[in-house]
Every structure is written in structure tokens, then in C-alpha cells.
Structure 1
Amino acid sequence: MSTQQEQLDFIERHLVYDIFKDFGPEASLEFHKVECSNGLDGFMSALYTVTLELVIRERKRTEVVLVKFMKGTEEFRESSNSYIQFANEIFAYAEILPAYENVLRTSHLESEVVSNWVPRCYFARFGQVEGLSNGRESVLALKHLKNDGYQLGPRLILRRDHLEAMVGLIGPFHALGYATRILQPQVHARLRAGVVDMPFVSESGKAIFDVLYRVAFDRFYEFYDRQKEQLLKDTDPGFGAAIERLREKYFKQPTQLLEWIRTNSYAADQADSHFATFLHGDYNRNNVLFHYGADDKVDGIKAIDFQELRFSTTAIDLSFFLYMNTASEGREEIYAELLRKYHSHMIQMLELVLRRNQDELTDDRGAELLKEYSFERFNGHFKRYAFYGALVCMHFLPWLLGNEKDCAELSRLFDTDMHGPAFHQLSMDIAGDEANEEIFKIVRHAYEHGYMDEI
């Protein structure tokens, strides 16, 4: 593993030059500086900010670049899936996004460029990185968007304009995965082979997902058993039965349910497997940046952090995003609206690309393909796998609802001793029953919409 000094040396000796070259032969570099960044958002990464003062055609320009390295010991990298996560993130920038760009370009849709969806990428490398260390490393250099006015959204609940911007980004992203499979099957097969599978189950039973979902189920059922009478008051009798069925089937190993969602959704014998594609994997408010117009409404959005990229059901991206970023009050209405808007954005992009390639498809074939992605079929598929979002909220929502001190301590324990009793206990306690009640509301919503029917 590389040390901080080795990372700083790599930036100074190699990366600054690679970034500078991206501005062409007419650019000159007058000055640069490198700063270490700290914060909870980088708890699996070592982050640096590189500022370059450039002169291009006699005009001065300041470019700020965020550089991201994999951090942690060899043991931490293995147990936290860092090697898989960082390999897939680099693959997203180096292969998947350029392939989508090519689909648009060959469809004469240059105005829909994928590069508008993510920060400009200057360098993306995983594996043996010359000049860094002898082990597997990850280096990603992206344009820092703070000077362009982009910023993270609210910590918890997003406004409608935030939510609509997010579905407006992820819908076309998924659509281009479908379009690549239909129009360029060999490219799609190459991309599919390049994504490293990240199973939720592990042989050791001590990997990161084992730890996080063990706590999640322990916490949920401790609260449920303690408050059962009040929680089930005036609810459908089948709800309590569904919770007990979930406990009976998956309490001993919660990750088996996550793994079933991940793999069953693209199994060859599933009639709706065509809804599986390349996912962001961690599509949440902390992994997108918003830009605001004069009216303080969102007028731009870019996605970041593709570390949990997977090939699986789009319900993974959508259910997590919808449950994590909508308030329990009013969720019923806005959740349904956002699903419709997501599908509208997705199908519009897919239809546009297919129409531009109609010479390769008969009219009947194009129409039949679009029927396969109709809202009715999408919604049926989503219903089968949308409990994924509730599962992730079980472990993640308390972290967001916790106070800054507890979050910092939880992050420290995650880094140093995720298997220890202190990490487990703080994960059980953080944010208290406020978080437990919100989680329960999410599970109840999932039950009421049939998301627990097949588990």
C-alpha cells in the first residue's frame, strides 16, 4: 500500500504533468500546490486538492482538481472490498462512460454528452501504477467543481427539485446501458466482463457487508420486539407476519437476501432480466453535486463516486435513492411520482437512441423493444427487488441521523476495528429511536407496496 508521502510524491512527479497535458500544447503551467483533504466523505479514500495556475493563449486560468487514492492497510482493503470498489470506479470512468459517449456520438446525439453528467476526468488508473508503489493502487483525478458553483445537497431530506434532478440523471444513464446491449452487444459483453462482481455474501462471514447488515438486523428487531404492540397497532395483520417471515428466513444471514436481489435480477431464467444494467450502485444525495440558478432551484447536477458500481437490477439504484432522500411525511405521493418521472427520462433516452439507429432495427423490432421497457413492466420488476432500499436504510440511515461526534467515532471505529464490540454497540445506539422509527416507516411503506411479497 502507498503511504501519504508516496501519494504526494506521485502527484508532484507524475500527476500534475498528466493533468497539465490535458489542456493542450498552448497551455503553460505557472504554479501549482497540493493540499491534503480530510472529512467523513473520504473515509475509504485519501483525498488531495491540486490547484494549477495555467496560462492558455495568454489568458490565465485556475484549475482545481480532486485526487483520490485508495487508503487503508492490506487487511482493511480486503475486508472493506476496496480492491473491488476502486477497480470498478476506475472502470466506470475509463471504459463505461466513454462507451456510452460513443453510443451517443454514433447516434448523432452529441448534445446529450455523458461528460456533462460527471466531473471532467483527467486520470483514472487501477492496479500497478508506475511511480506509486509495487502493490495494487487506485488513482482518480477529477475536476473539482466548487469554483463552478456545484455543491452537495441537504444532509438528509431533498427538495422536489433535487429529487427530480436526480431521476433526470439516473434514468438516461440506465437507458444507455440498455442501448449499448441492444446496439453494440460485443461492447456490452466486454463491459460486463470488466465489472468485478461484489457479492454481498462472503466465505469468512466477517466482510464489510456481514458486519453492517448484522448490526442492521440486530437493531431493527431489537426495536421491533421492544415496541411491537405499538408499532403494529392499526396496521394490516399481514404486516407483522411479513416481518416475522423476514426474520425466519434471513436473520441469521441478512446478506443472503441482498445477494438474492443482486443475482436473481439478471438470471437468464428471469423474464424481466433485461432491466439489469450497469448501476451507479450508491445513488444517494452525498454522491451527487447540485448547481443552483438565480431562483435557488437546481439547474445542474453531476454524479460522483462510482465505487459501488454493479451490474444488477436498477431497483438497487432507485429504491435506495428514494427511501434515503424522501421524508416519511408525503412519501406516498412523491415516491410514486418520482418512479414515473424516472421511467419517463429513461424511456425517452432509449427511444431517442433507437430511433437514431433505426437502419439497424426494423420498425417492428424497435417498437417491441420499447414495449419490453414499458412502465408496467418496469414497475413489476421494481416491485420484486425494491426492498433493497429498505435494507440499506436499516444500516445507513442511523449514520446520517447521528450527531457529528458519534459519526466521527463510528467512522474511526470502522477504519480501525469494524469487528469489535464498540463498533457494533455504537451502530446499535447512534441516533436512537428517532432513526428506528424512520426505518420502520420505510419497511411499512415497502410492505404496503408489495416489496416484501417475494422475500
Structure 2
Amino acid sequence: MEQHLDRIAELAKNGTFGTGKFLQVIPNPDCSAGPQFASQLGFLAVDLEEDSNIVRKSIVVKIQPKEQAERDLQCSDNQFFVELTMYREVLPFLGALEMDVFPEFIYGEASRGADPDNDIVIMADLSGQGYIISPDIYLDADTFKLTLRRLGEFHGYSYRAKRSRPSETQTLGQKLPHKRFQMDDSEDMSRPIWDRGFNAAKKQCDSSQLLDKVRAKMDTYRTDELWGVFRKPKEPFAAFIHGDFNRNNLLFKYVDDKAVNVKFLDFQASIYSDPSVDLAFFLYMNSTQETRDNHWEDFFKTYWEGVVSIEPKPGFSYDEFLKHFASRALYGYLPRSEE
């Protein structure tokens, strides 16, 4: 990150962070770093002088991993391009910025592999506003409902855009490349783990034949192909999705230990895909079985309320949405089964 300080100083002198006179850029002493895996992060503070007052702009800076092998593993050349496309084009096109669940986008460059050392994304640091990553590995029901409501709204903007500007929506959706899943030696380990999960499920339900049929169908795909099947967009349900909607990409503001607001981070995995990807991954990876058993129906109703608050006629009914989700829910089960 050190090598980028001069670059950020030049941006500050050119007014990227405000109209004041540039004073300095330093590591932010008040930052709180969270887990990020596809890029290197720096939490910095840019000091400007305005009307004899010092104004501090707290920022988060993402740069590419230094090693080519790591960039290839993370597909980070595409991920930087995707995140910049989301902030510069997709979110403004959808009108979703009015949701106020995204950090302020300040500056970015993405070369798609031509000059990865120059790739950079600069966002506002929300920690000074009281936002933090949840201290709990599994979220409570109220935090889930808060987040699902906003997730439903986010997807709702895609349905609104498809109704008003269908051709432009499809064109923009094609601009976001789908992630290539990198397979390694762990590929051979996935299927025995899935067997363990399916065998446990068969003991708890009366649909063992159906489960056997599903499990056999899974074996007709390579693991990377299977992920692609679940992510393939199907109309009328398709929408722009976050793509990695997980606890580590969410920030919450708490009052008296209760989450009262949420922000969505890191759109490097976003694509035009199936909203069930976001929903299933979030539900299974961030809740306990007890929470899901007690609040399953409420969770889906809360999400749906978010969708129709933005687009009352998304192109399908609530029952159709539930049936479709059931066909894609394994997207959340598969990674959870490997924990």
C-alpha cells in the first residue's frame, strides 16, 4: 500500500476528495479492518485544509494482490472491473443508490489484466459512522430481517428496470463477466461431504427418493459446472445480484446491541444472475438451524416485502418465487455442507 500513497496524494491535490488544500495522507488510526480475500486493503486518512479548518476524509483503498498466481486464483482482474462497473454504471442505472446501503464510491481504475499494479478502488470508510462487521458468526433473527428487507429492495430495482428499460437492462447485464470457479485437489473431497449432508437429511424427512434423485443429478456435473447451473439467470426471476452476500461483506450499525442499519460492501462478484444465489448463500451461511426452523417463513415474507416495495409487479407471484427458490436452494447448502 505504501507505493500508492503518492498516487492518492496527487488525487487529493486534484480535488478527488474535496476542494480543500491537500495536507497529508496517512494510515487511519481509527480504522477497523474486516476480512477481505480478493484484494489488499488499506485504511487511510486524507487531511485537507478548508477555511483554516482541517477536514479528514477516511477512505478504504483496494489494490490488486501482488502475485500473478493469487490474482489468477481470485480472478481479481475481472473482480476489479466488475466492482467499478457496478458503482459507475449498474447502480446508477437501476436508481439503487437512493437506497443508501452502499459506501460512497470515490475513485477507481481497472485494467482487466493489462496493468494490475495500477488497479485501484477507493471508497469511503464507514467505520467512523459507527458501522462494524457483526461480532457474531451467526446473525440473530432481527438482524436477518433487517438485511433481507434491504436485499429484497436491491433486487427489486432490477425488476423495475426490466419493466421500464428491458433492452438496456439486458445489455448492461451482459457486461458483467461470470466468475470462473477454480477447481483444485479439494474437488474430490466435495462429493463425500455432500453425501454426508444428504444422508443426514434423509433421516429427517420422508423424501429420501427425491433426495437420491437430486444427489444423482449432481453427479452428472463437474463441481464448477454445478455452481454455474445455479447461477445461470432464468427469467423472469433474474436480476443484478451481489454475488457474495455474506456476513463479511456487510456492515451494521448497532444501538443498544441491536442492529438498526446495514451497508452492503464489495461488489466484486456481482453478475446478472439468479437472486436465489444471494438469498440461499446468506440464509445458510449466516444462520443456525434453529433460527431457520423458527423464522423461515418470516424471512421470505420480509424479503418479498422489500422486492414489491420497489417494484409491485416484478413479473411473478410470491408463490412462484418460493417454488423457484426451492429449485436453487442447494446453492446455499453446498458451501455450508463443507464447513
**Same fold at TM > 0.5:** yes
1:250-309 CA-partner distances (Å, limit 9, x unpaired): 34723332222222x42xxxxxx111011001111111100112x332222110011221
SS in structure 1 opposite 2:288?
coil
1:80 aligns with 2:93: no
Indicate if the aligned counterparts of 2:149 and 2:303 stay in contact, CA closer than 8 A. Answer: yes
Give the Cα–Cα distance (whole angstroms) in 2 for the partners of residues 253 and 372 of structure 1: 32
Decide which of 141, 158, 166 is 2:139's aligned counterpart: 158
User: What is the match of residue 286 of structure 1?
Assistant: 248
User: What is the match of residue 392 of structure 1?
Assistant: 335
1:159-212 CA-partner distances (Å, limit 9, x unpaired): 222112211221111111111222123431332121012244xxxxxx24x656
User: What is the match of residue 451 of structure 1?
Assistant: none
Q: Structure 1 or 2: larger helix share? A: 1
Give the Cα–Cα distance (whole angstroms) in 1 for the partners of residues 117 and 5 of structure 2: 20
Indicate if the aligned counterparts of 2:145 and 2:302 stay in contact, CA closer than 8 A. Answer: yes
User: What is the match of residue 177 of structure 1?
Assistant: 158
1:123 aligns with 2:97: no
Give the Cα–Cα distance (whole angstroms) in 2 for the partners of residues 31 and 308 of structure 1: 33
User: What is the match of residue 250 of structure 1?
Assistant: 218
Give the Cα–Cα distance (whole angstroms) in 2 for the partners of residues 234 and 250 of structure 1: 20
SS in structure 2 opposite 1:329?
helix
1:306 aligns with 2:256: no
1:398-418 CA-partner distances (Å, limit 9, x unpaired): 2xxxxxxxxxxxxxxxxxxxx
Q: Percent of pairs identical after alignment?
A: 23
1:113 aligns with 2:94: no
Moved more, 315-324 or 135-144: 135-144
Decide which of 33, 56, 59 is 1:62's aligned counterpart: 56
| CA drift at 1:88 | 1.2
Decide which of 140, 154, 160 is 2:121's aligned counterpart: 140
Decide which of 306, 312, 321 is 1:378's aligned counterpart: 321
Structural mapping, 1:92-103, within 5 Å: 92-101=86-95
| CA drift at 1:82 | 2.1
Larger RCO (CA within 8 A; separation ≥ 6): 2
Structural mapping, 1:6-85, within 5 Å: 7-9=1-3, 11-19=4-12, 21-25=15-19, 27-34=20-27, 41-85=35-79
The alignment covers a number of residue pairs equal to 336
| CA drift at 1:95 | 1.4
Decide which of 216, 223, 228 is 2:190's aligned counterpart: 216
Indicate if the aligned counterparts of 1:50 and 1:67 stay in contact, CA closer than 8 A. Answer: yes
Decide which of 106, 130, 145 is 1:149's aligned counterpart: 130
SS in structure 2 opposite 1:113?
helix
Task: Give RMSD over aligned pairs.
Answer: 2.9
| CA drift at 1:81 | 2.2
Unaligned runs of 5+ in 1: 1-6, 105-111, 201-206, 267-272, 352-369, 399-455
Indicate if the aligned counterparts of 2:16 and 2:107 stay in contact, CA closer than 8 A. Answer: no
SS in structure 1 opposite 2:270?
coil
TM-score by length of 2: 0.87
Structural mapping, 1:181-330, within 5 Å: 181-200=162-181, 207-208=182-183, 214-221=188-195, 223=196, 231=200, 235-239=204-208, 241-251=209-219, 253-263=222-232, 265-266=233-234, 273-293=235-255, 295-330=256-291
Structural mapping, 1:375-454, within 5 Å: 375-395=318-338, 398=339
Unaligned runs of 5+ in 2: none
Give the Cα–Cα distance (whole angstroms) in 1 for the partners of residues 206 and 72 of structure 2: 44
SS in structure 2 opposite 1:64?
strand
| CA drift at 1:19 | 4.8
Q: 1:63 to 1:198 in 2, by over 3 A?
A: same
1:316-360 CA-partner distances (Å, limit 9, x unpaired): 000111111221114223122111100001101113xxxxxxxxx
Larger of the two Rg values belongs to structure: 1
